[in-house]
Structure 1
Amino acid sequence: MKEQLIKAMQRNQFLNMMYMAKDGQVSKRRIKIIKIGSDSFQAYCFNKQAKRTFIIDSVLVVVPVLHKEREVV
């Protein structure tokens, strides 16, 4: 998982993430990674509109956000 997070940070990608909190609640977040440590990472969370620290082992899934541009005809 850590390698996937590092690649996303290097590519400056936005991610959709499923995350399990300490109390066992699962949440879906849209994030942009700021920095990665040994067992946690800091990211801007668009859901909470603030910087948050996440534990890498608590991340269930990350998927890059794909932007589709609309055409004007």
Structure 2
Amino acid sequence: MKGQLLKAMQRNQLVDMMYIAKNGEITKRRIKVTKVSDDKFNAYCFLKHANRVFCIDNVLALVPVIRKEREVI
């Protein structure tokens, strides 16, 4: 998972993430990774419209956001 986060950060790529919070709540968030450390990472969360710190172990899935040409035009 850490490798995927580093790759997304290096490519400046948006990622859809399934995340389980400390209270057990599962959310789907669109994020932009800004920093990765040993067990946590910082990202801008488009759901909360704020910078957040996430625990790498609580990430359930990561999927890169692929923008298609027709969405740009």
Shorter-normalised TM-score: what interval? over 0.9
1:38 is aligned to 38
1:50 is aligned to 50
Which ranges in structure 2 are unaligned for 5 or more consecutive residues?
none
2:21 is aligned to 21
4+ runs deviating over 3 angstroms: none
- Amino acid across the alignment from 2:28: K
Q: How far is the alpha carbon of 1:69 from its aligned partner? A: 1.6
Larger proportion of helix: 2
Q: Over aligned residue pairs, what C-alpha RMSD do you find?
A: 1.3
Task: Determine helix, strand or coil for the equivalent of 1:70.
Answer: helix
Distance 1:63 1:29 in 2: 11
Question: What is the TM-score with the length of structure 1 in the denominator?
Answer: 0.94
Which ranges in structure 1 are unaligned for 5 or more consecutive residues?
none
- Give the total of aligned pairs: 72
Q: How far is the alpha carbon of 1:48 from its aligned partner? A: 0.5
